[in-house]
Structure formats: C-alpha cells, structure tokens
Amino acid sequence: MRFEWTNIFSDIDPRLQRLIQRRHRGLSTPPTASTEVGEVAVIAKVNDIKAWRSMSEVREGAEIASTPNGEIIVTGRVPVSRLQSVRTSPCVISLQASQPLQLTIEDTFEEKTVHPNNIVVDSSGEQGRNVIIGIIDVGCDFAHKNFRHSDGTTRILALWDQDGSSQPDSPFGYGKVYHSIQINQALQTDDPYLALDYHPGKLAHGTHVMDIATGNGNGTANPGIAPQADIVFVHFSDGAVEAVLTDGGSAVDKSLGDTTELVEAVDFIFEIAGDRPCVINISLALHGGPHDGTALVEQSLDALVEAKPNRGVVIAAGNSYHKGIHASGKVEQNSFTDLHWDIPKGHWQYKAMELWYDGADKFLLEIIPPNGESLVTMELGENGQIVDEDDNTVIYLSHRFCDPNNGDNTIGVFMESRLLGGIWTLRLHGTEVSNGNFHAWIEREDGSQTSFVPPHDNTHTVNSIGCGHNIIMVGCYDPTKPNQPLSYFSSSGPTRDGRQKPDFIAPGQNIWAAASLTLTKSYRKSGTSMSAPVITGIIALMLSEAQAGNIQLDIHQIRDILIQSAQNNPPEDTLQKARYGHGPIDINAAISAVLPRQH
C-alpha cells in the first residue's frame, strides 16, 4: 500500500471529499430514492436564499428555517462534479453530505398472537384527540385494524412512500403520497395493498412503532399510548445503496434513507399538520457526527420544532452502549495517543470513523496498519488516500480544520470494502495543544459492527442525530423484569458538549405491538425504537389536553412538564446515570401537569 495526496478542497465536509475523490477515480455515486446517479443529497446553511436558488447546479429541496442569526437551512441535490463549486459560493456557509440512517432495533421475536404490550396506558382524558402523531419509519400497515376507526375507515391522514414512483406533485420531487381518501378506497377491496400499490412488508418496524405510540387496539385489544390521535406516516426510503466495492463491483451494503430525506420528512409532516398540535417519532439512528447539536440535521430539527408551538420531535437514543463504537482521550503537547481499530479479516463492508477535537488544538495524524509500519502522517488541513497494489483506494483520509458549525477540527477515516484485516492504529500527535481532548466514533455497520480494541469507553454513544437542544431523546429499560433494569444495549450520554442525553427512558425491551400483514395480531420487538414512541404518545396526550383547554405549549414547556413528571431517581452508579436521563415518565403526572394550566 502507498499514500497519495489529493487536490480536493480541504474546507469541505469529509464525506463530500470522499465522493469527489471517488469520482476522480472513475467511480460513480449510486442513486437513492431522491437522487440520480452521480448526484448527492445535501443539507446546507446559506446567507442568501436567492443566490442558492439561482445556482444551476442545485436541485432545490426544502427551505427549512432561519437560524437565530438570520442564516437559512435548506436541502437540495448537487452533482458530485459540482460540489466544490457550490461549497465555495459566497452564499454557502456550510454544506454537509447526507448520511444513511438505520433502525434502532436490537432484536425481533416472530410469535404472532394477541398479548399484553407491557406498557401502562392511560384510558382517561382526551387520549390524543385532535393531535397528529407523525411516524418516520419503514412499513406502515394501513390495513391493520389498530389504525382504523370502528367503521373500518383509516386513521391515517397521509402516507408518503419515499420509495414510491414519483408524481408531478411529489414532495421535493420524489416518492408518492397517499391521502386518506385513497387509503379508504383501497381498504374496501379484497387486496388493499395491491389496490394502493403499497406494501408494508412482513413484521414491519414502522407498524410496530406506530402501534406503541397510537394504536387503538381494535385488532389486538391492546391500545397504544394515544389511541385517538390522527396519523401521518412517512415510509422512509429503504432501498438506498450505501457503498460499492472500490473496484466498481457490486453493492456490499444496504441502508435506509438519509438525513436529507429525514429532514424533508419532518418538514412534510409539520406542513400536513399546519396549526394542529403534532409530535413526530424518529426511531432511526446514526453514529457519526459531532454529537453536540451542531450538525445541520440537528439544527434543522431544532428549528422546525421551534418554529411553532405545539410541536415535538422524539428520537430513539440508539442501541450502541455495548458495541465499542466510541473512544475518547487526551493528547498532550509533544506526545501522542493511540486509537486501535479492530478490523476482522474478510470484513468487506465499507467502514467509517469520525474524530472530533477542539479547534484551538493541532494534531498530527499517523496511520499504522496491522504490520506495524507507519503509512502516512497527515497535518491539519490535509487530505489524501491510501491505495493498494492494483491502484484501488483502500482508505480515504481527511483532516479538516475548523468545522463551520462548531469551530472544531475533525478527522474522517473512510475504509473501503477491500481492506487488510487486523488492528489498525490511529496515532494522534500533539503539535499545538491547549485542550487536547478528543472523541471518536465508528459508524454503524449492521450485522458485523467493527469496534475499538477494549477496554471500551461506552459513554457518549447516543444517537448523533438526536443531540439537538429541542429534541427529546429516549433510552429504554425492560418492563418485564421486577427491578425494570436499563436495557443492556441502551446508549449512553452525555453529548460531546456535556449536556444530558438521553432525556428520559421508557419501556423498550420485549414490547408487544402490531404485526404487519396480520390485521389483528402482535409480536415482540426490543430496542430504543420501542421506547421512543412511548414518549411520543405521552407528548400527544399532553398536547391533546392542552388543546382541549385552548392553550398552547412550546417545546420548552413540553420538556419542563416531562421533567416534572419523571421519576428523577437515577442510579448511584455514574455510568448508569449517563444512560438514565430524568428517568421514566408518569403518564398521569404529565397529564395532571397540563390540566392546571387550563384554569
């Protein structure tokens, strides 16, 4: 193997750098639900919306919101060949590549029966009436009786299938939207899935999540938290190819949609809701990112929630506590610290790692492969690639100075699919150090997750799209055990900037809820995917009670009520405290905390 410097503009998102480098080597970027071949979805922060719209390279998406200092967050699609031109435009402050997301499920049990759901449900009050619950997930079984009124009609106001065939009026130019009138017509046929041309799939994750938040129990006799709420479902793209072999061969990994499609899904749901109270559940996760709320996907979600009262976004904390995907440490002046990344032999998946450190520091990065011989040293502001004897890229490296959103420095290590197995060492040399602290994360690799060499630092493992200031993040515990222990997989905080995440915990292990394609049956799943919709449903109950009293609740009031209603009795163990947040929510206490505001 040998190292080659690249001439790619260094002041650009490392993931965009990698795509540019791949194009230079003749490898195209594969299409997704919302992009064409050679095109990438992006989230951008701009200071001139007219200038952004006027660029011929930009295929516009959503105009999300303005930041407190007047900048505007937008989405769009840009040809990889034009990324450097777009990034260097005076109107573009920050340009970030979309990152593929994954479901936050830990395990699945296929018994299909009617069974108690292990979740305490309040059966009084408004039960979510006049509130919209948004679900962004995969697999909406609109025919299951838990999502139909007693007369058989649908409770779903709109279903946007992001993978559906695009129509002239498709949101942001992709997918297909089905409204309640079309769903009801399909429900009157012998095969409603065929009639609607939408298939949720067997044991669909989204159906299970939706039932926990808002199923009415008409099929299973076990209602969810807010059974009277209306529903808007976005079927998140589930056909996007994440990586191809370095030599241009077949795809080796599949993922769900990406962070740009996620932001557009949230915007879509809030647009459908209008002025109606609305809370959105996102049981999707990502490892990579700054984990400080400054990533553009987090800024987008924060801004959308803040734009109107009676809005909330709930995100699963993730299931990465036990996986060894996080490392942290300190680099001293004129010394070095090693990170050891264990790559199993024959592990041909694409792999990525991000490392973040203070913008006042300067590290020198050294890469040492399993044979122990140093391959390259890279200074801050440089980028390049390691290639094999066949001239294929093995690793792309980026050492970026001063991220425009938080001022910190970041190292991106992108290991392509054909790679020598063993222990790879990232040696960080302190050349100019005033702080020295760093954090690193290995991106999620479903089915064969690589990890750092033990002992592991399992703190700071929370879902990186959920570290925003207006986002409610939820971990989970096992309600079937007498002491209701924290689930072994439930991710840990805090955020990289020291804030408490997750915010709360909820039942998430061994949870029974609707099984798609059964009409009346349920089955068990475990994961923070299952705990997030519990809090989503509780917020819907709160908003429903507030709506009945003709009052409004902004996200800060919603959070305050949840904190007041939480158990707030963390375990004494410091490591467990970082996974607990404010604890589980008492549903009755949360509703009662809303009711006095009505008088």
Model confidence over 343-395: pLDDT tens digits? 998 777 889 999 999 999 999 999 999 999 999 999 999 999 998 888 888 89
Listing DSSP states for 523-583 in one string gives EEEESHHHHHHHHHHHHHHHHHHHHHTT----HHHHHHHHHHHB-----SSHHHHHHHTT-
pLDDT, residue 251, reads 33
Residue 257 has pLDDT above 50, yes or no: yes
The helix or strand, by DSSP H or E, that contains position 280, with its residue range, turns out to be strand 278-282
Amino acid identity of 345?
K
Which helix H or strand E contains 85, and what residues bound it?
helix 83-87
Strand 284-285 with 102-103, pairing: antiparallel
Q: Which pLDDT score is estimated for 190?
A: 97
What are the residues facing 254 on neighbouring strands? 241
- For residues 434 and 361, the answer to whether their CB atoms sit within 8 Å is yes
Token pair 């995969």 is at which residue? 138
Residue 421: what pLDDT? 87
pLDDT for the residue numbered 430: 98
Whether pLDDT at 279 is above 60: yes
For 111-170, the three-class secondary structure string (H helix, E strand, C coil) is EEECCCCCCCCCCCCCCCCCCEEEEEECCCCCCCHHHECCCCCECEEEEEECCCCCCCCC
Assign 258 a pLDDT band (cuts: 50, 70, 90). very high
Angle (nearest 5°) at CA 194 between 193 and 195: 90
pLDDT at residue 408 greater than cutoff 50: yes
Q: Are the CB atoms for 250 and 244 separated by under 8 Å?
A: yes
Percent of the chain with pLDDT over 70: 94
Confidence class for position 568, pLDDT limits 50, 70, 90: confident
Cross-strand bridge partners of residue 287? none
Return the SS3 of 432: strand
Mean pLDDT over residues 476-497, rounded? 96
Mean pLDDT of 20-33: 91
Residue 584 CA, chain-centre distance (Å), reads 22
296-306 helix and 259-273 helix, angle to the nearest 10 degrees: 10
Cβ neighbours of residue 271 closer than 8 Å, sequence gap 6 or more: none
89-128: per-residue pLDDT in tens? 999 999 999 999 998 877 666 666 666 666 767 767 889 9
Mean pLDDT for the chain?
92
Q: Could you give the 3-state DSSP secondary structure of residue 282? A: strand
Residue 501's pLDDT is: 97
pLDDT tops 50 at residue 193? yes
For residue 249, what pLDDT is reported? 35
Of 471 and 599, the one with more pLDDT: 471
- Identify whether 277 is preceded by a cis peptide bond (ω within 30 of 0): no
Mean pLDDT, rounded, for 45-72: 95
H helix and E strand count, the chain? 12, 31
- Judge contact between 103 and 517, C-beta under 8 A: no
Q: Does 576 or 253 have the greater pLDDT score?
A: 576
At 244, the pLDDT band (50, 70, 90 cuts) reads: very low
Q: Which of 64-68, 271-275, 368-372, 548-552 has the lowest mean pLDDT?
A: 64-68
What would the pLDDT profile of 130-189 be if each residue is shown by its tens digit? 999 999 999 999 999 999 999 999 999 999 999 998 988 899 999 999 999 999 999 999
Average pLDDT of 294-316?
97
pLDDT above 90: percentage of residues in the chain: 80
Q: Can you spell out the DSSP letters for 477-517?
A: E-TTSTT-PBPTT------TTS---S-EEEE-SSEEEEPTT
**DSSP run (H or E) holding 312:** strand 311-316
Residue 241 has pLDDT above 60, yes or no: no
For 292: left if phi > 0, alpha if psi spans -120 to 50, otherwise beta; the answer is alpha
pLDDT classification of 302: cutoffs 50, 70, 90? very high
SS3 of residue 19 by DSSP: helix
